[in-house]
């Protein structure tokens, strides 16, 4: 029998948090010992509409950690809050599994240092969907053969950060295998600021926000007389949950910070 993993979820009432609560309840070797919310402290999740779990709601993460002694924190909140929660989890010896996006390079460096000090596992995954991870891996492969690429990331219009974590991670992976290149015409001008999108190491990233979308990305490579498009679509938030489960299990087996699930997949 697998060892039970005690889990706390931050952001349980959010779009992702609700799916994660379901996952924790449905997974035999996960035990949801508490949730962290900025409202409804002192109540149980089941007091709120749409929940059956009797996990306690805490407004203070430190109180939650002290009382429930969890193994893993799953954070699905907002960029600012997610960073604070990740630091706090590491300080308390709780392994963070972070889906929240919007972490900068310096945030990641700082958290890597803290993880090293604590000697426990931590996972920050801009995208938990297996198809999205493959899209990023395939894009890295293709970048060895195509010098020019642009990334179109498309999300729902309630998203707070741009470019998306997935878009940034894809650009980083591509930049890691190709020579730095300024793309487009050297003398191009933007008649409207932003027309050419954001730029990372010469790679253009375009962020589309529309109601009706969930999470989609197309990576377009251009070569002489040809193009290659690698696309992934998440049509619901359940699509992320097998990755969340995998990340929680993996976080228990490692003692470093892993940024991106592709690093844990063959
Ligand atoms: N890694 C992935 O695969 C993946 C997939 C989808 C979304 N995301 C990211 O996950 C995050 C959440 O996305 P969402 O669509 O569920 O957003 P959402 O706005 O629906 O949910 C965020 C939740 O965080 C809660 N929250 C805010 N402040 C809090 C605090 N101090 N303590 C506890 N909870 C707090 C809010 O009440 C809200 O319920 C975003 O950063 C998003 O980019 C990642
Ligand atoms: O809904 C969101 O917000 C998502 N954000 C991730 C990102 O920033 O890459 C990807 C999945 C959905």
Confirm or reject: Cβ of 234 under 6 Å from ligand 1. no
Q: Which residue has the tokens 């900025």?
A: 38
Ligand-binding site membership of 13 (annotated): yes
Return the pLDDT at 198. Answer: 98
Query: In what side-by-side order are the strands of the sheet with 198-200?
Result: 198-200, 203-209, 148-155, 215-223, 226-234
For residue 218, what are its two tokens?
């197309």
Please say whether the beta carbons of 92 and 224 come within 8 A: no
Q: What is the pTM of this model?
A: 0.96
CB-count burial class (<10 Å; 0-12, 13-18, 19+) for 60: exposed
Strands 122-124, 72-75: pairing is unpaired
Q: Does residue 237 sit in helix, strand or coil? A: helix
Q: What is the CA radius of gyration of the chain?
A: 20
CATH entry 3.40.50.300 includes domain 130-234: no
Q: Which numbered atom of ligand 1 lies nearest the CA of 158? A: 19
Query: Atom 4 in ligand 2: which residue has the minimum CA distance?
Result: 215
Return the pLDDT at 70. Answer: 98
Q: Looking at the DSSP assignment, which residues form a beta bridge with residue 17?
A: none
Catalytic residue among 155, 169, 232, 245: 155
Return the pLDDT at 266. Answer: 80
Classify the C-alpha dihedral 167-170-172-174 as positive or negative.
negative
Return the pLDDT at 97. Answer: 98
Tens digits of residue pLDDT in 69-123: 999 999 999 999 999 999 999 999 999 999 999 999 999 999 999 999 999 999 9
Q: Shortest CA distance to 108 belongs to which of 266, 100, 131?
A: 100
Q: Looking at the DSSP assignment, which residues form a beta bridge with residue 86?
A: none
Tens digits of residue pLDDT in 167-198: 999 999 999 999 999 999 999 999 999 999 99
Residue 1 has pLDDT above 80, yes or no: no
Catalytic residue among 6, 22, 137, 159: 159
| Phi, psi at 10, each rounded to 5° | -100, 130
Q: Shortest CA distance to 72 belongs to which of 107, 122, 113, 119?
A: 122
Kindly list the protein residues whose Cβ atom lies closer than 6 A to any atom of ligand 2.
Answer: 101, 126-127, 155, 159, 164-166, 215
Confidence tier at 63 by pLDDT (50, 70, 90): very high
Confirm or reject: Cβ of 96 under 6 Å from ligand 1. no
Instruction: Provide the mean pLDDT of the chain.
Output: 97
Q: Looking at the DSSP assignment, which residues form a beta bridge with residue 192?
A: none
Tens digits of residue pLDDT in 202-234: 999 999 999 999 999 999 999 999 999 999 999
- CATH architecture under which domain 5-124+238-263 falls: 3-Layer(aba) Sandwich (3.40)
Q: What is the mean pLDDT of residues 129-157?
A: 98
| Phi, psi at 36, each rounded to 5° | -115, 125
152, 155, 260, best to mutate for ligand 2 pocket (most atoms within 8 Å of CB): 155
Confidence tier at 2 by pLDDT (50, 70, 90): confident
Q: Which numbered atom of ligand 2 lies nearest the CA of 214? A: 1
Judged by its nearest atom, the ligand closest to the C-alpha of residue 99 is 1
Query: Residues 6 or more apart from 179 whose CB is under 8 A from it?
Result: 147
Q: Which numbered atom of ligand 2 lies nearest the CA of 153? A: 9
Classify the C-alpha dihedral 193-199-204-207 as positive or negative.
negative
Q: Shortest CA distance to 229 belongs to which of 212, 214, 216?
A: 216
Q: Does residue 229 sit in helix, strand or coil? A: strand
Q: Delimit the domains of the chain by residue range.
A: 5-124+238-263, 130-234
CB-count burial class (<10 Å; 0-12, 13-18, 19+) for 112: middle
């Amino acid at each position: 029998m697998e060892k039970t993993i005690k889990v706390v979820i931050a952001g349980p009432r959010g779009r992702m948090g609700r799916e994660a609560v379901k996952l924790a309840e449905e997974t035999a070797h996960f035990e949801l010992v508490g949730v962290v919310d900025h409202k409804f402290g002192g109540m149980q999740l089941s007091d709120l509409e749409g929940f059956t779990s009797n996990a306690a709601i805490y407004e203070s993460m430190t109180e939650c950690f002290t009382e429930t002694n969890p193994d893993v924190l799953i954070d699905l909140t907002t960029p600012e809050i997610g960073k604070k929660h990740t630091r706090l989890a590491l300080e308390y010896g709780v392994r963070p599994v972070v889906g929240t996006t919007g972490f900068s390079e310096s945030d990641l460096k700082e958290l890597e240092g803290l993880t090293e000090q604590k000697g426990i596992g931590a996972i920050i995954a801009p995208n938990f969907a297996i198809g999205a991870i493959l899209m990023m891996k395939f894009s890295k492969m293709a970048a060895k053969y195509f010098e020019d690429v642009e990334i179109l990331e498309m999300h729902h219009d309630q998203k707070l950060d741009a470019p998306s974590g997935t878009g940034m991670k894809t650009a980083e992976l591509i930049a890691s295998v190709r020579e730095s290149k300024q793309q487009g015409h050297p003398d191009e001008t933007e008649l409207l600021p932003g027309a050419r999108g954001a730029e990372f190491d010469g790679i253009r990233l375009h962020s589309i926000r529309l109601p009706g979308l969930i999470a989609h990305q197309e990576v377009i490579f251009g070569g002489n007389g040809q193009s290659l498009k690698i696309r992934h679509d998440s049509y619901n938030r359940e699509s992320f949950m097998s990755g969340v489960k995998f990340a929680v299990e993996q976080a228990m087996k490692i003692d470093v910070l892993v940024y991106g699930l592709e690093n844990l997949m063959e």
